[in-house]
Structure 1
Amino acid sequence: MDVIELIRYIDGLVWGLPAIMILVGTGVAIAILGGFFQVRYLGKAFKNLLYKGTGGKGEVKPFALFAAVMGATVGVGNIAGVSTAVHLGGAGALFWMWVCAILGMGTKAVEATLAAWSRRITPDGRVEGGTPYYIRLVPVIGPALAVVFSVFTFIAAYGIGNTVQANNVALGVEYIAKGYGWDPGLARLVAGVLMFVFTALVVLGGIRRIADVSNYLVPFMAFWYIAASLIIWVKYAGNFPLAIKEIFTYAFTPQAAAGGLAGWMVYSAIRYGFARGLFSNEAGLGSAPNAYAYMTVDHPGRVGLYGVFEVFMDTIVICTMTGIVDVVTRVYIERPDLDGAALAMEAFYRAYGGWAPPILGIALALFAYTTLLTWEWYGEVNWLYFWSKTLGLPEKPLMWIWRVMWVIPIIPAAVSAGLFKAFWDFADTMNGLMAIPNLIAVAYFAPVGIGLIKDFLKSGKV
């Protein structure tokens, strides 16, 4: 068994039925304990985006940091990941992705709240916080779980946050190159070099610079992709009722495939709906709290509302754009040979013809680039927690070592077209592993997080 086969074997174990049950169980428990606050107060979560940080403490302005988190959450998973779920799980996978999102809105809210609750503000105004800081507060096993989480996370960062993103930026550029008759291999190399340079320029400035860049890029890229997808919805409006019927029907019954293919089982719809939904919105992973801890806020419960809206926008809105496009254009049935971003590109080709490469290529590149930026920070927080907070090594040199290490894989990942599947499998595996210690802490502290959110909602501050 080679390394790639081993990764795929572990991926199958990590994303088996037990993992799905743990994720669902945690989400259901939070939803029940919180009275489905993530749905009832969605309007307030939207209104909360107007908060300017008045009376709060932290290092980064609220909307700028929210944009940075959205930049990490809205990545290639929203295009390639959703299309992979539809390819492997059929139309029914979209239903389970929505279930994952509704539950994930509550889970992410609790995670974000705990990040603000457990952080420490130093006398000079600096923040010490992140996911391992609330995990370590779990009695007896907390410190050990925090160390395990930090190791899994800075390794996982090279999957979901680095190689997958760089590979898919290059894929988007390759689509553009093919559309104009350019050399795709050279285009990938150029994309890798440019990513290397622009990522280095941003991440060397830390979370403030990452947030400042995301503040401008994220709203633009979201509008770009939503508008482009809605045009396809309108163009194929005649297929829309069939698409909705298939999504709900095949979430609970097997779906036959055209051309003598094997078809899709319900278990596949559930498994890939949840796996790709989690890859996209990251609820339960413990990734976003590493940034939310640095938000300037006046109440920990306020941060939870940002978590609610983050997952809503990522999965209910943006992932749905891709999923409906794949189904209404019928490419998921008529082109079973295509997977991931290639499947989405075929759908866009049917709607836009020769304009498809730049339209989808720009979306892929922006989604992946912003994820590269913020996941650098997620990895850095946990890298420093392990080496500095746990082992006592000097923080500043380790910080620079991490930032240099972060940009090194970008060019190799960009030019490695043949490792597309391996990068995804590695990312899936590490996501599942880092979720385990985080979910233990989230489950333990759920009453604390929910209580803080309720207290904030009662305060009338939003």
Structure 2
Amino acid sequence: MQTIMDIISYIDSLVWGAPVLIMLFAGGILFSIMGGFHQIRKFGTAWKTMLWKGGARGEVHPFKIWCMVMGATIGVGNIAGASTAIHLGGPGAVFWMWICALVGMATKSFEVTLGLWSRKVLPDGRIQGGTPFYIEKVPYIGTVLALLFAIFLVISAYGIGNMIQANNVAYATEYVIRHYGGGDTEVFYGRLAAGLLMALFTALVVIGGVRRIAEAAYYMIPFMSAWYIIFSLGIWIMYGYNLPKVIFDIFRFAFTPAAVAGGLAGWTVYSAIRYGFARGQFSNEAGLGSAPNAYAFAESDHPARQGFYGVFEVFMDTIVLCTMTVIHDQLTGALWERPDLSGAALAAESYYRAYGIYAPILLGVALALFAYTTMLTWEFYGEQNFWYFFSYKLKLIPEKVARWFWRFIWLPPIVFAAVSPQYFEAFWTFSDCMNGLMTIPNIIAVIYLSPVAAKLLKDFYTRHIYITGEAKGKPPASISATQVLRYYAKDFLRSMFTPTYVLIKENMMGRRIY
């Protein structure tokens, strides 16, 4: 077992070395430039796109698909992953996590747009689509890259989408049991019960396919997001006097090394960049290529519309929810005073310092819900790529057999991971490694097809929204660079200063303005 872990750790160090980090960052900058920094200047459009009523070709309402994808991105990575980032990379990792999110918003919008552009709508209205469908359009090596991506995602679905989530929910269960006086026997049976219940409740939803998963996420995402934000903001308020120092440390240690209390090795700038990017991408999955597998099934009248859903997805996941975690870990002093804690344990210490005996329940509910929705969506990601590899491309087994066989073999590891706390670090290393291997073929394809995505995005906000009546006036015949800047500025200012209730009213009256 140790030999296997050494091999995985070695591959992980290669995958998340400088070349991949540079490729991700450079790709995000390239997409930002090609899109005119649309993730910033058209952020108002991303927000107002969420009010679109749907009704175009597709299988599932676009907002429900967005909730489904958010179910995958809002996982234990927002709690355990974010805490691990600052444990391994120091406060400076937060800054690089934000940078990862800003460029990731552009990356996500490009890959989601390509996912809609490459999908196939069958005569009966069913959708065939996902990340491999645009990867295979790369000349000469596209088919090989698509097959590699599919198999890497299938394997990764056992890591980021299964064992990581199950292990952390089981940890939350153990945390509650030990807090109230339980021993090792009670902890084992508690973990086992948590694993069995997760497998059961996951099975009840995933047998209904993409529609049932999206429907479940539609009801759960708003509640669990609000739950975590409210109680995390409570910690911010209680320890608000430390906030200026925390913000200062984030920017200072992003560019300078930091020492750790207790004589332990300190944090380097490289570790801040590495873990800020790795955990940031683990959380928002920008560049990973996972989200297009679900977005391809959304009702959509233009591929770039879902691209703006992707922008808001990354913003909510990393800029909002991950920031909640990394700030309260520092505000309470847990990061500096307990260098022995990492992951969910570090977040739990922060909650305990703020909420005392109520902390296990408050954090446990958040961990359980975050992990559950992630498992639901990642089961579908794995299923879709399992079908693509063995049924659509290799034609070894029929589609229905492939999908049901995948569901059958994907569920048991949930229980194994729940009762195996000794493999916690191994699960994280395995997931990091698989995520990196997925990223390589996907980012190559997105870079190659980026002119297509950029053209679609520009067409959406300079022409399509006028034709559909979503913006006032007529589409300009030709747009100069100066006119584009004025257009962005006017739209951005309006989105920032128009009350939300006015936008909602306009949407209800059929006058959706973007």
Q: What is aligned with 1:302?
A: 305
Partner of 1:446: 450
Is it true that 1:202 corresponds to 2:205 in the alignment? Answer: yes
Partner of 1:112: 112
How far apart, CA to CA, are the structure 1 residues paired with 2:211 and 2:371? Answer: 19
Confirm whether residue 270 of structure 1 aligns to residue 273 of structure 2.
yes
> In the TM superposition, what is the alpha-carbon distance from 1:259 to its structure 2 partner?
2.2
Give distance in 2, aligned partners of 1:448 and 1:174: 49
Residue 166 of structure 1 corresponds to which residue in structure 2? 166
AA partner of residue 323 (structure 1): V
Tell me how far 1:451 sits from its aligned partner. Answer: 1.3
Matches within 5 A, 1:384-403: 384-393=387-396, 394-403=398-407
Query: 1:448 Cα shift?
Result: 0.9
Q: Which residue of 2 aligns with 1:44?
A: 45
Matched, 1:7 2:8: yes
- Structure 2 distance, partners of 1:387, 1:45, is 36
Structure 1 distance, partners of 2:133, 2:458, is: 22
CA distance in 2, matches of 1:259, 1:408: 41
Alignment correspondent of 2:27: 26
Q: Distance in 2 between matches of 1:379 and 1:436?
A: 18
How far off is 1:283 after superposition? Answer: 0.3
Aligned to 1:63: 63
Query: How is 1:48-447 mapped onto 2 (pairs within 5 angstroms)?
Result: 48-54=49-55, 56-182=56-182, 183-393=186-396, 394-447=398-451
The 10-residue stretch of structure 1 (186-195 or 95-104) with the greater mean CA deviation from structure 2:
186-195
TM-score (norm 1): 0.99
AA partner of residue 36 (structure 2): G
Q: Distance in 2 between matches of 1:329 and 1:170?
A: 25
Q: Which consecutive segments of 4 or more residues in structure 1 shift more than 6 A?
A: none
**For the residues of structure 1 that align with 2:50 and 2:178, how far apart are their CA atoms?**
40
Query: Structure 1, residues 233-252: CA drift from partner, whole Å, max 9, x if none?
Result: 01001100000000001000
Q: In the TM superposition, what is the alpha-carbon distance from 1:449 to its structure 2 partner?
A: 0.8
SS in structure 1 opposite 2:50?
Answer: helix
In 1: Cα distance, 2:44 partner to 2:172 partner: 35
Question: 1: CA distance between counterparts of 2:138 and 2:225?
Answer: 37
- Partners of 1:450 and 1:184 in 2: CA distance: 52
- Identical aligned residues as a percent: 60
| Rg larger in structure | 2
Query: How far, CA to CA, are the matches of 2:363 and 2:316 in structure 1?
Result: 19
Gaps of 5+ in 2: 471-513
CA deviations over 1:194-219 (Å, ceiling 9, x no partner): 00110000011111000000001111
Q: Give the residue type in structure 1 aligned to 2:439.
A: A
Q: Following TM superposition, by how much is the alpha carbon of 1:6 offset from its aligned partner in structure 2, in angstroms?
A: 1.4
SS of the equivalent of 1:124 reads coil
- Secondary structure of 2:134's counterpart equals helix
Output one character per residue of 1:335-394: Cα deviation in whole Å (capped at 9) or x when no partner.
000010000100110000001000001100100100000001111111011101111121
Aligned residues: 461
Post-superposition CA distance 1:298-319 (Å, at most 9, x none):
1101000000000000000000
Q: Any unmatched runs of 5+ in structure 1?
A: none
Partner Cα distance (1:242, 1:294) in 2: 45
1:170, distance to aligned residue in structure 2 (A): 1.0
Q: CA deviation at 1:41?
A: 1.0
Indicate the RMSD between aligned Cα atoms, in angstroms: 0.9
**How far off its partner does 1:268 sit?**
0.3
Larger CA deviation: 317-326 vs 177-186: 177-186
Give the Cα separation in 2 of the matches to 1:408 and 1:202: 16
Shift of 1:179: 2.5
Q: List per-residue Cα deviations over 1:156-195 (Å, max 9, x = no partner).
A: 1100001111111111122222222342222111100100
Amino acid at match of 1:117: W
